[in-house]
Amino acid sequence: MASIFCYWLAWYLTSPVRKLRTASQQLASGDLKTRVVPELGRRTDEIADLGKDFDMMAERIETLLSSQGRLLRDISHELRSPLARLNVAVELVRQRSGKEADEALDRIEREAERMNTLIGQLRTLTLLESGTEIMDKKTIDLSGLVRNISGDAEFESAKRNITVSTELDDNIIIEGSEELLRRAIENILRNAVRYTAEGSEIKISLKRHVSEGKEYALLMVRDHGPGVHENELSNLFTPFYRIAESRDRKSGGMGIGLAITDRAVRLHKGTVRAFNASEGGLVVEIKLPLSL
């Protein structure tokens, strides 16, 4: 009887702790709707108070992140109109001015296009973050998609004498959004082209991979750049995060591209991670299930 009582007491004391731990993991993985008080029942002890504090924290985090998403969405929407008017104004000035103004007007157009691209990335990120992005699923030849994107990357990197080598399994078919997957892979390849050493090589591989009885597509992109400090690897896919040594305003972007990659891959029930190669350079790995 004593053993049974001790077992019941241990279960009674540890059960809410296990529920709190599960809720914490769900919140950390991005499920902002997670709440723990309904799981604790009618408890009125200190653990119940801890559960209430947890729910207040989760609600506050959800409110803050939702407000951030709305702010980014509103900003990206409001900036589109003045940018469009700016482009019209540039064309009017170009028609009325001489050739001596062409250089300055070309610079204005380039900067306006850069801002327009950034606004588009912000809009995509907010849609993916809020979950309102509707994925138009269809059958995709992932092998062909990666081959096409690799060809574009090779063309862009030719001016820096960078070669792009591919090792792709054929006929890897996946269900999902071709547009989102294209953006995800392009963002990784653009980063590789930007940071790899001049005259070096970018390696792209796409293989079938079996794990725990499930079949996956495993895409790996490896560059020969400076790599990333181990402490910063986990932050690469955080929106607006830029590494101080290389992702400055002159050579890098605004830290949105890889965040879009992460959200797009997760929408396809996949995973993405980055790690430093043993011989130097950075490797980005995407693993996608072949059936959603």
Active-site residues, by number, are 77
Segment (H or E) for 46: helix 46-96
Say how far apart CA 250 and CA 238 lie, in whole Å. Answer: 20
Single-letter amino acid, residue 202: I
Say how far apart CA 107 and CA 35 lie, in whole Å. Answer: 51
Residues 175 and 126: beta-carbon distance below 8 Å: no
Residues 64 and 46: beta-carbon distance below 8 Å: no
Tokens 């053993």 -> residue: 3
Contacts of 197 (CB under 8 A, 6+ apart): 224, 225
Residues 197 and 222: beta-carbon distance below 8 Å: no
Question: What tokens appear for 223 in the block?
Answer: 């560059």
End-to-end CA distance of the chain: 50
Say how far apart CA 279 and CA 207 lie, in whole Å. Answer: 21
Residues 258 and 235: beta-carbon distance below 8 Å: no
Say how far apart CA 134 and CA 129 lie, in whole Å. Answer: 12
Question: What tokens appear for 269 in the block?
Answer: 């029930």
Tell me if residue 100 falls in helix, strand or coil: helix
